[in-house]
Amino acid sequence: MNPALSRAAASCLLLALPLVACDRRPSPTIGDKAFVARANALCGRQLPALRAERRQSDVMGNTPKNDRGVTAAKIEKVADGLDHVADQLGNLPVRRQDQGGVAAWLEEWANFTGIGRRYAAAVRTERAAVYSSIAATGNGPVRRIARFARANRMDNCVL
């Protein structure tokens, strides 16, 4: 094989590996297929409306009329809705050996909604630096929620 072609092929392979690795699904952490099916169905019914509500205001809390009170109320409504979904998920039967993992996942939901409520309170103050900083703290919980959901084939439960 031509050495230049070999180097080009190796370069392409090295460039492609991170792309493949980024798209890999994490390994499953629970084995309760019945819980997974019920959770996916529940999230599929409940989360689309909450996602739509969330999209009505932008990341900086602006509404079409730039009414911070309205934006904060919407954020709180979404947090309440997510808490309701998490409560329902917590009431689903799950195998004993998977209960710890599911409980930790649901704790991340509580962390995320708590941050959302602090964010809503900060939006009311109209201090962008404060609410932007609080919003950034939500990235960790939402990533952990998504990682657990994706690993366990509960894609409807990715926030």
Q: What is the pLDDT of residues 112-123, one digit of tens each?
A: 999 999 999 999
The answer to whether the CB of 94 falls within 8 A of the CB of 32 is yes
User: Contact 28/152 with Cβ under 8 angstroms?
Assistant: yes
Structure token pair of residue 36: 């997974």
- Can you say how many angstroms the Cα of residue 55 is from the centroid of all Cα atoms in its chain? 14
CA distances from 104 to 34, 63, 148 (A): 19, 34, 10
| C-alpha to C-alpha distance for 125 and 51, rounded to whole angstroms | 24
Distance CA 89, CA 91 (A): 5
Joined tokens for residue 80: 């309440």
Count of C-beta atoms within a 10 Å radius of residue 61: 24
pTM for this model (two decimals):
0.79
Rg from Cα positions in the chain: 20
pLDDT of 51-88, one tens digit each?
A: 888 666 554 555 555 688 888 999 999 999 999 999 99
Lowest mean pLDDT among 12-16, 22-26, 48-52, 73-77: 12-16
CB atoms inside a 10 Å sphere around CB 143: 12
| Helix/strand/coil for 68 | helix
Candidates 152, 155, 113, 153; CA nearest to 134 is 113
